[in-house]
Amino acid sequence: MNRFDRITSLLLLLQTRSVVTARFLSEHFDVTERTIYRDIRTLENAGVPIGAEAGVGYFLEQGYRLPPVSFTLDEAAALLLGERLLVSSLDANSLQDFRQALNKVRAVIDNTDKDYLSSLDADIEVLPTGSQFPVDNAIHQTQQSPPETNSQNDDENGTRPPLSPSHDRWLRECRSALVRRQVVEIDYTALSSNSQSTRQIEPIGLFYYSWHWHFIAWCRLRQGYRDFRLDRIASFSPQPEQFARHSRLTLQQYLDEQPGQDQLQEVVLLFGPEAARFVGEQRYMFGFVDEERQPDGIKMRFLTHVPQYMARWLLQYTDDVQVLSGESIKAELQQYATQLAAHWIGKSKHS
């Protein structure tokens, strides 16, 4: 962020809080406190009435207000994505308040930008599975802490650790390519084979599930619709070529047509106390939704579209995990167990 943008943002931040400290501002903008002092002096020299109280912080003098704020298209689009994620994470009243605030944002942007948002709105879908926000710190603590301490998320000083952003990339670029119906060239690492390939795709939507954003598109290499997880896209290059909107399915049509194994399947597992300690962040790869403590372990619920890979993952826990629901997982586990038994019995006979 350049100095002009930082000073402008600093002024906006002062208006959102009754008082802020130099330390808070330096951490927020990732600069030194000396830099903040200079920025405050610049605002004062420009006529902004900033008050200061030793040991307390800075504040805007009462009665001072900035003129109405305009929003950039990227800011408005980010708020639209936020609304979709919040649908299943807020109560009805709070969600209504958020939507009213978003409508006020829509009201002050240009008509062209309003059309952009309306088009983008139709190309976004979020699977309503409860909390939509996997936080790296929470994952780390789940991995390091035994089950009886998993609910404790505060640090030694009693303060909650800072949230970490998602590892999904290219969201801004995806939004733009969707609305403009641009062909995009990507380098993608497939989850199944872990091999990277270059694809040219025609995007139809963004779909959020299993803790990640997924770019749904027609893949010219595979000649079919494919699901690309954003954190597995290594490079993203929009091409000058555009494709006709009517030549491809809408996102909703694509989701409605998904057959059998491509649909998200609910799986409920009961991990024994020992196994639950080692599940860690791997569970997020298989669509972890929530967990519930039981007398004999931890019950976890998943929504997965890769039952065969999930079964391979579960094999390591041997008899310390039970499948409470999810027939496809049971079938996969039985098949792999039979193969393993035949393999190792055969090995022992020839040794």
The pLDDT value given to residue 69: 63
| Alpha-helix residue ranges (DSSP H) falling in 199-319 | 251-257, 273-276, 307-314
Pick the residue with more confidence: 332 or 146? 332
By the 8 A CB rule, do 182 and 160 touch?
Answer: no
Q: Who's near 111: CB < 8 A, 6+ residues apart?
A: none
Q: What average pLDDT does this structure show over 230-244?
A: 93
Cα separation, 41 vs 64, in Å, equals 17
Nearest to 124 by CA among 255, 242, 266: 255
φ, ψ dihedrals at 181, nearest 5°: 50, 50
pLDDT at residue 8 tops 90: no
pLDDT at residue 150 tops 70: no
Q: What average pLDDT does this structure show over 312-341?
A: 91
Q: What average pLDDT does this structure show over 286-307?
A: 87
What's the token pair of residue 17?
């809080």
pLDDT in tens, 60-95: 887 776 666 667 788 888 888 888 887 766 777 887
Write out the CATH class of domain 3-60: mainly alpha
Q: What is the mean pLDDT of the chain?
A: 80
Q: What average pLDDT does this structure show over 307-313?
A: 87
Of the pLDDT bands very low, low, confident and very high (cuts 50, 70, 90), residue 315 is very high
The pLDDT value given to residue 349: 65
The pLDDT value given to residue 258: 67
- 158-166 contact pairs (CB < 8 A, 24+): 161/137, 162/137, 163/133, 163/135, 163/137, 164/135, 164/136, 164/137, 166/134, 166/212, 166/213, 166/231
CATH number of 265-349: 3.30.70
Torsion of CA 37, 43, 45, 48, to 10 degrees: -130
By the 8 A CB rule, do 222 and 215 touch?
Answer: no
Answer yes or no: pTM beyond 0.95: no
Residue carrying structure tokens 């240009």 = 110
The pLDDT value given to residue 348: 65
User: Percent of the chain, pLDDT > 70?
Assistant: 82
pLDDT at residue 260 tops 60: no
pLDDT at residue 220 tops 50: yes
Of the pLDDT bands very low, low, confident and very high (cuts 50, 70, 90), residue 181 is very high
The pLDDT value given to residue 303: 84
What's the token pair of residue 319?
């008899």
Cα separation, 220 vs 203, in Å, equals 11
The pLDDT value given to residue 138: 37
Of the pLDDT bands very low, low, confident and very high (cuts 50, 70, 90), residue 242 is very high
The pLDDT value given to residue 134: 44
Cα separation, 157 vs 178, in Å, equals 45
pLDDT at residue 39 tops 80: yes
HSE of 211 in the Cβ direction (CA atoms, 13 Å)?
21
Pick the residue with more confidence: 6 or 162? 6
Tell the CATH topology of 171-256.
SH3 type barrels. (2.30.30)
The pLDDT value given to residue 66: 64
pLDDT in tens, 13-23: 887 778 889 99
- Structural element, H or E, at residue 322: strand 321-325
Domain ranges of the chain: 3-60, 73-149, 171-256, 265-349
DSSP calls for 15-55: HHSS-B-HHHHHHHHTS-HHHHHHHHHHHHHTT--EEEETT
Beta bridge pairs of residue 304: 265
Q: Which of 76-90, 230-244, 254-268 has the highest mean pLDDT?
A: 230-244
Judged by DSSP in three states, 200 sits in strand
| Alpha-helix residue ranges (DSSP H) falling in 218-326 | 251-257, 273-276, 307-314
